[in-house]
Homo-oligomer: A and B are copies of this chain.
């Protein structure tokens, strides 16, 4: 293993300080899952009655913990989360199922709840059996040492190839009563040699029924964790969980269209988007953060597919790495996205400057501001497909030698 990578040049300039969320306590420790002495386990204890929602990878080869968690989340309630790095427990067959069940069992026995109330998340190498006894050996001590102030430790503990911890928080009002929304996440490239996956854990002291919580989470994820792409690869373990402990004494809110939820919805969207953008900013080898906005598509879904095709194009990503305003590559990516566009009405703006319109380049556009924009850390590409009213925003990063360095290394 190489030493720790230098912090991404796109890292935020400070780490958000997360307040406690009543009903949530966390702890982190080292179980030696893959490497001795490395922090590789994080646990969350959830107060009795906590509502739980989750969004998971759509992969057909989803890992054992994802399949377990889907069942837990279906009940809408959870009492604990056990997260490990170093081993994804993915493509591990029936043995992998037993590892998850055993982990949940030990956590449940420790806390005095049901195994079916324990969520499990794993990240790491695919196709190797997780040494579960090492994992469960540390659980009693960890659950004994949980604290409401351990968010920074927790964010640090779930890092794998991440070069900085990712955390975000908002205080919002529900019916005039303040509630907190905290989130931590890990990311970097997907299914990287030793570590994989996007994991996000969000928590609030709001009192929201599980069905409503799920609706709010799904909505937020669609415009955050599902609107980012580093290399187009989706992990077997991607997981975003949201917990609502109900400790806050706000008036009851039971439907998604309740206007008193607006501030919460906005805050949740912001926490999720901030974490998602931090993941992109820590993409393997990333040197530029890219926002791709598509408007004028047939539907929002079409807009997202167009934006993702541009975002995942190796030629667009390498052009951005080279500070090259090569909009021809953007046109080519749009043309193969499989969504309707009007080539004659299509417009492309880079850093706000219109570079292509009316089926061709904008005659004699001023290249100086575009060139200056491309040299920056933050690149904005705005596309109008000229067809309809569908819109979407996707965040990505450039494709550099750093990505190859990280991913073409020998696994062992």
Interface on A for B, CB 8 Å cutoff? 57-62, 88, 90-96, 125-128, 189-193, 196, 231-236, 312-315, 318-319, 321-324, 326-329, 331-336, 340-341, 343-344, 346, 356, 358-361, 399-401, 403-404, 407-411
Please, which residues of chain B bring their CB within 8 A of the CB of A319? 407-408, 411
Which of B93, B334, B400 sits near A358, CB closer than 8 Å? Answer: B93
Please, which residues of chain B bring their CB within 8 A of the CB of A324? 193, 408-411
User: Are A92 and B233 within 8 A (Cβ)?
Assistant: no
Please, which residues of chain B bring their CB within 8 A of the CB of A192? 315
Which of B94, B318, B328 sits near A359, CB closer than 8 Å? Answer: B94
User: Are A232 and B93 within 8 A (Cβ)?
Assistant: no
User: Are A236 and B333 within 8 A (Cβ)?
Assistant: no
Which of B61, B126, B196, B313 sits near A341, CB closer than 8 Å? Answer: B61
Most central of A88, A232, A334 by chain B CB within 10 Å = A232
Q: How many angstroms from the CA of A58 to the CA of B336 in the assembled complex? A: 7
Assuming the contacts A60-B341, A191-B329, A332-B190, asked whether A95 and B410 have C-beta atoms less than 8 A apart, the reply is: no
Copy number in the complex reads 2
Q: List 11 A-B contacts (CB under 8 A).
A: A60-B343, A90-B332, A91-B356, A92-B361, A126-B329, A190-B315, A234-B332, A314-B407, A399-B404, A399-B408, A401-B404
Assuming the contacts A61-B343, A91-B343, asked whether A233 and B403 have C-beta atoms less than 8 A apart, the reply is: no
Residue of B nearest to A236 (CB): B332
User: Are B329 and A403 within 8 A (Cβ)?
Assistant: no
Assuming the contacts A91-B331, A410-B323, asked whether A191 and B127 have C-beta atoms less than 8 A apart, the reply is: no
Which of B57, B231, B312 sits near A315, CB closer than 8 Å? Answer: B231
User: Are A332 and B59 within 8 A (Cβ)?
Assistant: yes
User: Are A335 and B236 within 8 A (Cβ)?
Assistant: yes
Assuming the contacts A326-B411, A404-B401, asked whether A93 and B360 have C-beta atoms less than 8 A apart, the reply is: yes
Q: How many angstroms from the CA of A134 to the CA of B190 in the assembled complex? A: 49
Q: How many angstroms from the CA of A329 to the CA of B400 in the assembled complex? A: 20
User: Are B409 and A322 within 8 A (Cβ)?
Assistant: yes
User: Are B334 and A61 within 8 A (Cβ)?
Assistant: yes
User: Are A233 and B189 within 8 A (Cβ)?
Assistant: no
Chain A: interface secondary structure?
Answer: loop
Most central of A92, A128, A343 by chain B CB within 10 Å = A343
Residue of B nearest to A409 (CB): B322
Which of B233, B321, B331, B360 sits near A404, CB closer than 8 Å? Answer: B321
Q: How many angstroms from the CA of A108 to the CA of B317 in the assembled complex? A: 42
Q: How many angstroms from the CA of A93 to the CA of B411 in the assembled complex? A: 49
Please, which residues of chain B bring their CB within 8 A of the CB of A358? 93
Q: How many angstroms from the CA of A90 to the CA of B236 in the assembled complex? A: 39
Please, which residues of chain B bring their CB within 8 A of the CB of A328? 88, 90-91, 125-127, 191
User: Are A61 and B335 within 8 A (Cβ)?
Assistant: yes
Assuming the contacts A234-B335, A328-B127, asked whether A189 and B315 have C-beta atoms less than 8 A apart, the reply is: yes
User: Are B318 and A126 within 8 A (Cβ)?
Assistant: no
Please, which residues of chain B bring their CB within 8 A of the CB of A326? 193, 411
